[in-house]
Amino acid sequence: MSERETPSIPAGILVKTAARNLARHRRRTAVNALSVAATTAILAFFMGYYRGTYAELLYSTIIDYQTAHAQVQTAGFDKADPDAYAKPANLMADWRGLLWKIRGMDGVVEAAPRLLLAGFAGDGAEKLPLLIVGIEPEAERTVGVAQRSIVSGADLAASDSILIGESFAGLFGLEPGSRCVLQTWTANGTPNIRDFTVCGVYRSGYAPLDRTSVFLRLEDAQTLADTGDAINKIFVKCGDTQAAESALPVIQAGAGKAGYTAESWRTYAAGILHHMQTETYFYYVFLAILFILSISTIANTMYVSVFERTREIGSLRAIGWRREEVFRLFLFESAAVGVLGGLIGALIGAAASFALHAFPISLQSLASGSEIPFFEITSVPAAIDFAGSAAAGFLCAVLAGTTPARRAARVDVVKALITH
């Protein structure tokens, strides 16, 4: 009877035989399952960690502490040239109509005018270069974090008051009620100096903001820089990054009609995002190496299994098993290892991900000296993480077992029975 005429082995028998073989070789099965479990667990944990620490936490802190979701300014505004912030070419005189249009756009939560000025501040004897930010306090509370981080004193309720960061206050021994001197350049290039009263001290935890940014009412900043009613920025806050992506083209179109430009937060955070992307590539390389090692481990043990079971394979072939049935037997064994290891790994990864979500690792002490607002390591678990990582572990095992299974299917029956 030819191989084609031989009755096929039912799938149920193949599965039972595969399970029996795995039970007979428990140590080998355990090694393969643990290899898959380790890969699956790390992948499941990484997906929640990346989503929580990078995609949500870091993005939100960049937006809140530095960039907002979008910024509107003149076409020639150069962030790298603070001395030109108050020059007429960078000022927006007819901004109020555009501001109200942006506030009415879908996805926009708030739009806040700002007048950014390069200058100095101090106690009258010493001074420190910093960024002077004129704001409308009511709108700014939604867009920025300084007013939400006041630790002593009060908000900008009165004219001629100033809100300063805790680091800056510590340098000069300032506190609410202290006198603070601000110096900047007017729109026509002449220096101007005014005294302000510290109304409050904020602590955001982000060193560049706490040390080098002071806030005052918009009308006071306009008087200090002699810009009239002009500003040089509109910061736009949306519901989230997805809403911002949808709203940006509309914001850009509205800004363009008014003679200005609008850019996404990604433009202003390009350096930080590049740093994040570099780290992401490292993680992907690490995961790829992990998968390769896992596949290699399973494949090697499967090859050993094929060698040790050559006589058994020969016997199966001699009693009528087809080559494809031998192939399927070994592939079922690999698949079973993938299912077992994938489930164990997904459970371990889920436990680690939920633990990090419940007990995030604080990096506040490191953030105080960092140029990136990176405050903690956390995780945001999702069911798709565990299902996807388990499926990846299963695929890893099946891929690892494919070549050894083909090797088993090609075993020569006569040589197998004679030499073993």
Contact criterion met (CB below 8 Å) for 147 and 202: yes
pLDDT for residue 12: 85
Q: Check: CB of residue 235 under 8 Å from CB of residue 114.
A: yes
pLDDT bracket for residue 383 (50, 70, 90): very high
Q: Would you tell me how many other CB atoms lie within 10 Å of the CB of residue 183?
A: 17
Euclidean distance between CA atoms 280 and 282, whole angstroms:
5
- Torsion (CA) 229, 238, 132, 77 in degrees, nearest 10: -70
3-state secondary structure 166-183: HHHHHHHCCCCCCEEEEE
**Structural contact between residues 331 and 398, judged by C-beta atoms closer than 8 angstroms:** yes
Angle of CA points 227, 172, 187, to nearest 5°? 10
Largest CA distance in the chain: 105
Please check the confidence at residue 384 and state whether its pLDDT lies above 70: yes
Task: Report d(CA 252, CA 237) in Å as an integer.
Answer: 14
How are beta strands 191-202 and 376-377 bridged, if at all? unpaired
| Tens digit of each residue's pLDDT (9 = 90 or more) over 304-351 | 888 888 888 888 888 888 899 999 999 999 999 999 999 999 999 999
pLDDT in tens, 347-373: 999 999 999 999 988 776 655 555 556
Is-contact 83 118, C-beta < 8 A?
A: yes
Give me 201's structure tokens: 């001290």
Instruction: Using DSSP, state whether 205 is helix, strand or coil.
Output: coil
Per-residue pLDDT reduced to its tens digit, 144-154: 999 999 999 99
Burial class of residue 118, CB neighbours in 10 A (0-12, 13-18, 19+): middle
N- to C-terminal Cα separation, the chain: 25
Q: How confident is the model at residue 394 (pLDDT cuts 50, 70, 90)?
A: very high
Confidence of residue 286 (pLDDT cuts 50, 70, 90): confident
Q: What whole-number distance in Å separates Cα of residue 352 and Cα of residue 47?
A: 11
